[in-house]
Structure 1
Amino acid sequence: MNKGAVDLIMAEWDEYKKILHSLQEDILVTRVDGTIVKVSEATGAVYGVDAEGLMGRSVYDLEKEGLFTPLATPMVVESRERVTFVQTLSGGKKLLVTGLPVFDEEGVLTRVVSYSHDVTELMEIKAGMEEMTAEIERVRQELNLLKKQNQREEKMVAKSESMRKVLAAANQVAGVDANVLLLGESGVGKTELAKMIHEKSERAGGPFIEVNCGAIPESLFEAELFGYEGGSFTGAIKGGKKGFAELASGGTLFLDEVGELSLQNQVKVLKLIQSKSFYRIGGRKETTSDFRLISATNRKLSRSVEDKQFRSDLYFRLNVVPITIPPLRERRDDIIPLVHRFLEHFTAFYNRKRIFHNEVLNRMHELEWKGNVRELLNLVERLVVISQKSVIPPEDLPEPYRKEEGSYSKMNNKWDEPLAVSLERVEKERLIQARRKYKTTTKMASVLGISQPSVVRKLKKYQID
């Protein structure tokens, strides 16, 4: 090659070099082995080094020194196509790097060209946006949880002092995973209270699995509680089935009517509570389940333990935090608010405008409600459905609810019986009510205004347990 040709080539290269540097962009060219053969002046400013000092060096060595990572060259060599990625520099700066392959006339990869843009600020904005989005989602979930909790608590009418204490205890225990035993007569609202505790707990996002221990046949209880493998017994589902205990993992397992369990099944429940593990029927693999336990019963389990009908070890496992829901007749302040709550629900559900005559409300307030809240709920629904008048009159009350029996205000209206008999009947009724409400004869005596020995004597006279 003559001198004129060499001068021309060098002049052209100087021109390309000036163009390259004038772009003020980070442009770096390497061989396929990672050796740097071309570099723009801006590259040195981006990486905080002398640009000329990068010439002839290996990008692999620079990565080991901590100048930048990851590398464009090996990505392009492997993929043989354009790549774009985020590169981190030694000072924490972020670059959006694009690597391009350069092929010769025969299709052989000879060079890798890369260029970059500083996206540190954009990455920080992106991280901030992601953090803000996560915080918004967290707040949204908390608001939804609070909404559910408030909705559930609103369903639990608590105008009476005794019911307010129940809700206070439920709110207190909801924040911990201690076993809760709900006590009270049938229909007082044990299931609703269990759901409220669940929805106010940290497990609110998990399942609430209700198991009616009294409704499952004894022979099927183990299969329903623990599940089974396919083909483990006649009639089993081919693929097997998860049991209640497994389904409750991450949430709450609610054992309703736990006092109805047979002694044999009590042993199985005890082991489940102790270890939170079990075997499916027909299975050989132990399954664990992380659940919170709430139990409920209308029985006096302590008496069942004394009668050897309920295991004492299981009783003490269940009875960590007992909450007793009083019957409706002992919290009369809740009756009318409950009536209005149910009336509002059923008038909307059946699309009927109905209100109660004052005499009906007075009568409802006086009744004993042996079926508790459930009985009251059913009666309100029945009256909304059958009454033809917008103001539901006393005559629409079913016959059993029109009678005056059990009403102190009317003194039972039995004028044809001797006064002594009437007085004894009222005395007995007052003693029954006091016995249900207070645990000790001393407290009963204080409320009734008689001596404690008199209370004991009268309880024995009327055969009141």
Structure 2
Amino acid sequence: MAEWNEYEAIFHSLQEDILVTDPNGIIVKVSEGTGMVYGVNANDLMGKSVYELEREGLFTPLATPLVVKDKKRVTFVQTGSDGKKLLVTGLPVFDDAKELVRIVSYSHDITELMEIKAGMEEMSSEMERVKNELEQLKQRQDDEGLIARSHEMRKVMATGKQVAGVDVNVLLLGESGVGKTEMGRYIHHKSNRRNGPFIEVNCGAIPESLFEAELFGYEDGAFTGARKGGRMGLAEMASTGTLFLDEVGELSLQNQVKVLKLIQEKRFYRLGGTKEIHSDFRLISATNKDLEEAVQEKTFREDLFFRLNVVPLMIPPLRDRKEDILPLIQSFVDHFSRQYKRKRMLNKIVMHELTQHVWRGNVRELMNLIERLIVTSDAFVIQEEDLPQTYKSSSENYSEMNNFSETLQETVERVEKERLEQARRQFRTTTRIADALGMSQPTVVRKLKKYRIQ
């Protein structure tokens, strides 16, 4: 019968993973708990090298080389052969001559804690997505807020509603201020993704150097000034909903490549990250530029153009849908009266002036004017004197063709400019404009530049 050893009894009664090696990594003592943690017989580990056991896949990394190197306590996470995560602490043991003679390591199973941590990180990421989504959506207008009394606008909305039911890429075209963003929201709210987020990316407002970080997000410490903990990108926030790329024609060629890859794969990495992220979004883009012409001029990638231009939808300018002006005015008056708690109405002369105005800034210009009138007028009824001078008709009321204050050449140039502006609105390329006006394409390009027609 073996002699009872008090220290051995205490050592094994701890039921913990305790392992002792010499500086060369040879196991000289091991607790019974170690065998249970790693799924082996503890006695079979005696005399073996921890380096050999690591090569066999029993555990990694090792405490021994870390303690030998630094000659001090170390703590790290170790992975067992069954995927368990262990928090390991290694301690040096010195003799009287201060020479390292033993390395003692012990561990605790933290697999469950690691799973909880991962779950918390995922929950935190989801909470951030929801928070950012709410910030993006808090100013969202009702999807029925679009005014469509005119035949032209009713046709556009009918097409938008038709394509909303399928996840096809839509390219919204039209002058600045016609309501491309509102149309994008309309399509989103009519789609099966209506309960998901509508995330707007203003490609023209984000500095080129920050575009990748804004679109894809970044990890903690990815660059100087990065927010602690990292940040979710707009593409990731749009998952299950719609990603709206506004002013897509303003993208640099470098960023066009990144957007093309995102559209094709819907997979990306955060800046400074190594984990691939998948985002299930529907894409809608918008621009006031002629992308076909930009492709010809090599300022816009042809492959990206074809990706975006699956279903093009042209939104007509406000001057071509005058039937919508009065209902738009009433809608904006009601909206801003509620917002600023100032009940106002426009008299008939003001209404007439506004319906006759050429709205070069389109719906956005009309909306801004109504907001201005609501907040600056003192009376319940807004009079013509409340209108800015640029929105009042000339009191002379004479025909421009009978205006002899300009020379014949000036009259010709004015008419030529008006015809070019009209053709530019109707035809999207300079080749088509040239065919319609009976002149060469280089002449059209030269005259557009002359009159600064975009």
For the 8 Å contact 2:143–2:189, the answer to whether it is kept is no
**Structure 1 residues 431-455: Cα deviation after superposition (integer angstroms, max 9, x where no partner):** 24541443399xx99xxxxxx9894
Distance 1:410 1:162 in 2: 31
Report the CA distance between 1:413 and its aligned residue.
8.8
From the superposition, tell whether residues 430 and 237 of structure 1 become closer, same or farther in structure 2 (CA, over 3 Å): closer
Aligned residue type for 1:329: R
Distance 1:238 1:385 in 2: 41
From the superposition, tell whether residues 410 and 162 of structure 1 become closer, same or farther in structure 2 (CA, over 3 Å): farther
Report the CA distance between 1:378 and its aligned residue.
0.6
Q: Verify: 1:298 aligned to 2:288, yes or no.
A: yes
- The residue that corresponds to 2:347 in the other structure is 357
Which residue of 385, 388, 393 maps to 2:375?
A: 385
Aligned residue type for 1:379: L
Report the CA distance between 1:456 and its aligned residue.
1.9
From the superposition, tell whether residues 388 and 188 of structure 1 become closer, same or farther in structure 2 (CA, over 3 Å): same
**Structure 1 residues 283-304: Cα deviation after superposition (integer angstroms, max 9, x where no partner):** 1121111100011111111111
Distance 1:372 1:316 in 2: 28
- The residue that corresponds to 1:438 in the other structure is 426
- The residue that corresponds to 1:240 in the other structure is 230
Which residue of 180, 186, 191 maps to 1:196?
A: 186
Distance 2:388 2:428 in 1: 37
Q: Which aligned pairs between 1:415-434 and structure 2 lie closer than 5 A?
A: 415-417=403-405, 424=412, 427-428=415-416, 431-432=419-420, 434=422
- Rg comparison, structure with higher value: 1
SS of equivalent residue, structure 2 residue 255: helix
Q: Which aligned pairs between 1:59-458 and structure 2 lie closer than 5 A?
A: 152-402=142-392, 404=394, 411-412=399-400, 415-417=403-405, 424=412, 427-428=415-416, 431-432=419-420, 434-439=422-427, 455-456=437-438
* TM-score, L = length of structure 2: 0.62
From the superposition, tell whether residues 353 and 238 of structure 1 become closer, same or farther in structure 2 (CA, over 3 Å): closer
Distance 2:424 2:359 in 1: 14
| Structure 1: 5+ residue stretches without partners | 1-150, 446-451
Aligned residue type for 2:335: H
CA RMSD of aligned residues (A): 3.0
For the 8 Å contact 1:330–1:437, the answer to whether it is kept is no
Report the CA distance between 1:388 and its aligned residue.
2.1
Aligned residue type for 2:194: A
**Structure 1 residues 158-212: Cα deviation after superposition (integer angstroms, max 9, x where no partner):** 1111111110110011000000111111111111111111111001111111111
| Structure 2: 5+ residue stretches without partners | 1-140
**Structure 1 residues 251-270: Cα deviation after superposition (integer angstroms, max 9, x where no partner):** 11111111111111110000
**Structure 1 residues 410-464: Cα deviation after superposition (integer angstroms, max 9, x where no partner):** 53497443695686467436524541443399xx99xxxxxx9894259969935
Tell me the percent identity. Answer: 55
SS of equivalent residue, structure 2 residue 438: helix
* TM-score, L = length of structure 1: 0.60
From the superposition, tell whether residues 158 and 432 of structure 1 become closer, same or farther in structure 2 (CA, over 3 Å): farther
Distance 2:401 2:384 in 1: 18
Distance 2:333 2:348 in 1: 14
Aligned residue type for 1:356: L
Report the CA distance between 1:152 and its aligned residue.
3.6
**Structure 1 residues 100-122: Cα deviation after superposition (integer angstroms, max 9, x where no partner):** xxxxxxxxxxxxxxxxxxxxxxx
Distance 2:162 2:309 in 1: 16
SS of equivalent residue, structure 1 residue 463: helix
Distance 2:231 2:222 in 1: 11
- The residue that corresponds to 1:463 in the other structure is 447
Report the CA distance between 1:234 and its aligned residue.
1.4
For the 8 Å contact 1:250–1:290, the answer to whether it is kept is yes
**Structure 1 residues 327-352: Cα deviation after superposition (integer angstroms, max 9, x where no partner):** 11111111111111111111222222
For the 8 Å contact 2:143–2:185, the answer to whether it is kept is no
From the superposition, tell whether residues 247 and 454 of structure 1 become closer, same or farther in structure 2 (CA, over 3 Å): closer
**Structure 1 residues 381-424: Cα deviation after superposition (integer angstroms, max 9, x where no partner):** 1111112222211111112222549x9x8534974436956864
Aligned residue type for 1:341: S
Structure 1 window deviating more from structure 2 (453-462 vs 295-304): it is 453-462
Aligned residue type for 2:447: Q
Distance 2:202 2:225 in 1: 22
SS of equivalent residue, structure 2 residue 168: coil
From the superposition, tell whether residues 414 and 376 of structure 1 become closer, same or farther in structure 2 (CA, over 3 Å): farther
Aligned residue type for 1:183: L
Distance 1:344 1:308 in 2: 46
